[in-house]
Amino acid sequence: MNLFRAAGMVVWALRSAAACTLRGRIWLPFAAIAGIQVIAFAMVLNFHRGILSPLVVPLITGFAGPSATHYPNFYLSLPIVFSRLSLILSVLVTCIMVGAAIVLFAQAFGRVEYMSPWKVARKRYPALLIATLILAVCLFAVPYLALLFPRDAMLQNGMVRWGVRGLLLLLSVLVQSFLIYAAAWIILRNERALKAVADSFRLTRSTFLPTFVIVALPAVLLYPLSFLDSRADLFVTKFRPEAVAGLILIQIFLELLFGFLLVGATTRIFIYQTEEAA
Amino acid sequence: MKRALPFALLTLALLAGCSGDPDLGNRFRAERAFWDANAEAGRLSIRPELVSEATWHKVVDTFSAIPTQYPAKGKGATALELRGVHAHALLAAARIYGTLGDSVAMLDVYSRIENEYEDLPLVTGEVAFARGRIAESQRDWNAALGAYQEALTRVAPKASDAGVAGAVIELPLRMARIRVVAARDSTMSFRHQAYRDAETYYRDMIAKADTLTALDARAYMADVAADQNEWDEAASHLKSLETVLSGMKPPPKDPASARYALAQLQLRSKSPAETVQATLLSLIKDYPESPFVAQAELGLAYSYAQNGNPDRALQALDAVSAIKTAPEDLAGQALLLKAQILDRTGKWTEAQQILAALPVDHPLSEAALLAPIEVVRHYESAGDTEGTQAALAKAETAYRDFLNRYPTGPVSILAQEKLARTLTQQKRYDLAVAEFVRLGEALGQHPAGAQYLAVAAQLALQQLGDTTRATEILDRTATQYANRKVGLWASEEAARLRKGSQ
């Protein structure tokens, strides 16, 4: 695919997704994802309250060690604790919402009008869970690749540090790009999880540039916030430690908006490539 | 089945509620309250002179309320940690009482900590350490020795610790020095006896403690040996310390620090100047990247200057100036010494340029404060009365500018002292008395505060002939140092003056 066609496809897919912003029904799955995240976040923030502590403290200590239950260490560990919890939630729960959103977008684009989005998503839950689990494991593993680089060089050289950060961001965007269509294959083509993953790879290969750009856009736009997350120590020392919580709430809200565009745009490309172009 | 689900969930939630750690919530909230109070105290400490006593007392109340607001319920590890937060909050309150000069309230808080938190050796050890410091500053040697011994018994030394565990390593050496001062017996046989415990303690640490602590112990062993004039042994400890540090990758401390300490030891043992110079030169050659190079160059400059070699001294000082990373104070000191050497070699114009630039280039260094006095000294030694007066007026302006511009701290106290002395030299005794009184009050319970108040009283009496003012100052000294010998002396002097004036 040449560069101009790829750029045209990106603009067209994003415009198609943006055109659906006034359809309240499509927002429902995303609002549900954000709602679940906010509830989970509130539970983590209130881990020290009697009824929640037996449920949440093991998660916090498991993700960030026993010192994370102390103040202000808790806020230093909050980004990592919440990102891991979100990853687990995305595998166990929110994959259903993504599935429902794909059906809703497909209907908005004039396809599968007979399908009941939530029923289909629930029915295909096992396959969605496996596909999302594969994506989650890959995304979880990416930051650990930083361990392959000499620690001293990372600490002493800003170029090396930013180079590694850029490489890790690129890798996580690549992983997401190659697995982004798996849910659509499962929901709209009723495929099994592993076949859907393989077909997603194939589809991304044939539409690499537009898919990569659509996945990379939100990742790059959200990167300043992710970077600030990784420097929670700055918030703790310069502002109040609780500022970290505010930052994560902003992130949840922005992910809601970008998630809408990402799912909408990739569903549009999926339908075009599998039905219209064929 | 569907109706049973809410009941099952409710039962689970209740069970979960009951199985939680009862102190976790309070510990978290207490830590937050402690953090907030610390942040507030830190904010107020930026310009303490603008903070009213009532505001400080509010912060003290916040710290003191933490144990009652967030009590420990259980007896587990979390409860113990929570009690640790309580004790540290009370320690913070005691520290503020200390800076406010309320030693009675401070000692009350210490007693409360000792009574209520005796199961926390680290905290009670810190209290014992603080009590030792107070007793030492009051020259109550026996109490100081007792308190330090208690701190040593309770707290295991750890060099990497920024708190009391890191500070207690020095105590055996300090205790040995106190024993010598207290006994007023400086004979070598008594010294050996006084230092025996310290030697045993440090030998034990070298053998058993973790690497960092053992390295610190070796450095203290060198001090112990040097205090007993066992120069060769002290040097051998420092040399072996340097060898150990150089062999470590990366070294936990700069090996050059040991070489620099060796040069200091040679100075102390009155070794020939060539030996000291050779050690410093070897440091510069062997550790060219070390931050100690600047100190070594400055040391060399002092050594050359004292031994009649101003040219090499100036070379060494230029080398300090060339080091961009040299600390502010050290760079300032180098420029001051350069100006002094140039003045002594008849190059006053060059010296004057350096002295004028010093407060601009290194405004927060001690040397910058000494520069105006250096100009006064030059005119005084030249017998130039007019020049001296002009230089004194400039010095006064410089110190007042400094005090207006920078927040209160050790350097501003020094500036205030210089201002008071400049006003005395100008024979403006009225203003000088006021400055000395302000300085004495700013120092709170510090022994130096009493000295400044005494100088103020003396000036008021002898130069102004103002007995009432002198008596007032002495009364103020007696109140500020109520439980000390100096306070008693001030109160007796005030009574004597009152009697004389009647």
Three-class DSSP labels, chain A: CCHHHHHHHHHHHHHHHHCCCCCHHHHHHHHHHHHHHHHHHHHHHCCCCCCCHHHHHHHHHHHHCHHHHCCCHHHHHHHHHHHHHHHHHHHHHHHHHHHHHHHHHHHHCCCCCCCCHHHHHHHCHHHHHHHHHHHHHHHHHHHHHHHHCCHHHHHHCHHHHHHHHHHHHHHHHHHHHHHCCHHHHHHHHCCCHHHHHHHHHHHHHHCHHHHHHHHHHHHHHHHHHHHHHHCHHHHHHHCCCCHHHHHHHHHHHHHHHHHHHHHHHHHHHHHHHHHHCC
Distances (CA, A) of B45 to A236, B42, B135, B363, B368: 19, 5, 25, 21, 24
Asked if A71 is an interface residue toward chain B (Cβ–Cβ < 8 A), one would say yes
pLDDT at B6 over 70: no
**pLDDT tens figures, B299-329:** 999 999 999 999 999 999 999 999 988 898 9
pLDDT tens digits, A78-91 = 999 999 999 999 99
pLDDT tens digits, one per residue of B214-230: 999 999 999 999 999 99
**Which amino acid is located at A3 in the chain?**
L
- Confidence class for position B8, pLDDT limits 50, 70, 90: low
Inter-chain CB proximity B35 and A72 less than 8 Å = yes
Q: Looking at the complex, does the CB of residue A152 fall below 8 Å from at least one CB of chain B?
A: no
pLDDT band at B392 (very low <50, low <70, confident <90, very high): confident
Contact of A70 with chain B, judged by CB distance below 8 Å, is answered with yes
Using CB atoms, pick whichever of B19, B20, B31 lies closest to residue A71.
B31
Structure letter (DSSP) for residue B101: T
Closest CA to A258 of A269, A266, A247, A268: A266
Answer yes or no: is pLDDT of B9 > 60: no
Calpha distance A24→A81 (Å, rounded): 32
Q: Which of B414, B408, B457 is nearest to B432 (CA)?
A: B457
Residue A67 has pLDDT above 70, yes or no: yes
Residue of A nearest to B32 (CA): A71
pLDDT digits (tens, 9 = 90+) for B67-106: 999 999 888 889 999 999 999 999 999 999 988 878 788 9
From the CA of A48, how many Å to the nearest CA of chain B? Answer: 4
Provide the pLDDT for residue B5.
Answer: 57
- What are the pLDDT digits (tens) for A161-219? 889 989 999 999 999 999 999 999 999 999 999 999 999 999 999 999 999 999 999 99
pLDDT at B484 over 80: no
Q: What does the pLDDT read at residue B16?
A: 53
pLDDT tens for A229-272 read 888 887 777 888 899 999 999 999 999 999 999 999 999 999 99
pLDDT, tens only, A203-213: 999 999 999 99
pLDDT value, residue B481 = 81
Please classify residue B273 by burial: count the beta carbons closer than 10 Å to its beta carbon, then call 0-12 exposed, 13-18 middle and 19+ buried: middle
Distance from CA of B101 to the nearest CA of A (A): 30
- Residues with Cβ within 8 Å of B58's Cβ and at least 6 positions away in sequence, in order, are none
User: Is B33's pLDDT higher than 90?
Assistant: yes
| Tens digits of residue pLDDT in B108-156 | 999 999 999 988 999 999 999 999 998 888 788 999 999 999 999 999 9
Within 13 Å, how many C-alpha atoms sit on residue A275's CB side?
15
Q: Which residue has the tokens 């490309």?
A: A269
Q: Do A51 and B16 touch (CB under 8 A)?
A: yes
A58 touches chain B (CB under 8 A): no
Instruction: With a cut of 70, say whether residue B485 has pLDDT above it.
Output: yes
Q: Using CB atoms, which residue from A48, A50, A51 is nearest to B28?
A: A48
Residue B19 has pLDDT above 60, yes or no: no
Query: Cβ contacts (< 8 Å) between B31 and chain A: which residues?
Result: 70-72
The domain segmentation of chain A, as residue ranges, is 3-276
pLDDT band at residue A52 under the 50/70/90 scheme? confident
Size of interface A-B (CB pairs under 8 A): 40
Structure tokens at B149: 């011994």
Give the pair of three-digit tokens for residue B46. 């930026």
**Tokens 């009670």 correspond to what residue?**
B124
In chain B, % of residues over pLDDT 90: 54
Average pLDDT over residues B230-234: 95
CB contacts of A55 in chain B (<8 Å) are 16
A70–B32: do the CB atoms touch at under 8 Å?
no
Contact B313, B341 (CB under 8 A): yes
Query: CB distance from A158 to chain B under 8 Å?
Result: no
Per-residue burial over B160-179, b if 16 or more Cβ lie within 10 Å, else e, is ebeebbbbbbebbbbbbbbb
Distances (CA, A) of A185 to A94, A180, A192, A200, B295: 17, 10, 8, 7, 71
- CA dist B446 and B138 (Å) reads 9
Look at A51 and B29 and tell me if their CB atoms are within 8 Å: no
Q: Looking at the predicted structure, is the pLDDT value of residue A49 above 90?
A: no
Determine, for residues A71 and B35 on separate chains, whether the beta-carbon distance falls below 8 Å: yes
pLDDT tens per residue across span B361-372: 888 888 988 888
Tell me whether residues A71 and B25 touch, CB distance under 8 A.
no
Chain A residues 207-266 within an 8 A CB cutoff of chain B:
241
Nearest residue on chain A to B14, judged by CA atoms? A51
**Residue B28 to residue A50, Cβ atoms within 8 A:** no
The CA distance from A49 to the nearest CA of chain B, in Å, is: 6
pLDDT at B11 over 70: no
Virtual torsion, Cα A168, A172, A177, A178, nearest 10 deg:
100
Which pLDDT score, from 0 to 100, does residue B502 have?
Answer: 62
Cα–Cα distance between A60 and A45 in angstroms, integer? 10
The reply to whether A69 touches chain B by the CB within 8 Å rule is yes
SS (H, E, C) B228-250: CCCHHHHHHHHHHHHHHHHHCCC
Of the pLDDT bands very low, low, confident and very high (cuts 50, 70, 90), residue B390 is: confident
Facing residue for A55 by CB, picked from B16, B25, B31:
B16
Find which of B31, B66, B80, B82 to mutate to test the A interface (most A CBs within 10 Å of its CB): B31
State residue A77's pLDDT score: 93
- Kindly report the backbone phi and psi dihedral angles of residue A110, in degrees, each rounded to the nearest multiple of 5, phi listed first: 85, 25
Average pLDDT in chain B: 88
- pTM, two decimal places: 0.72
pLDDT digits (tens, 9 = 90+) for B184-210: 877 888 888 889 999 999 999 999 888
Q: What is the pLDDT of residue A1?
A: 66
**Hey, of A60, A71, A152, A237, which one would you mutate to test binding to chain B, going by the most B CBs within 10 A of its CB?**
A71
Q: What is the pLDDT of residue B403?
A: 82
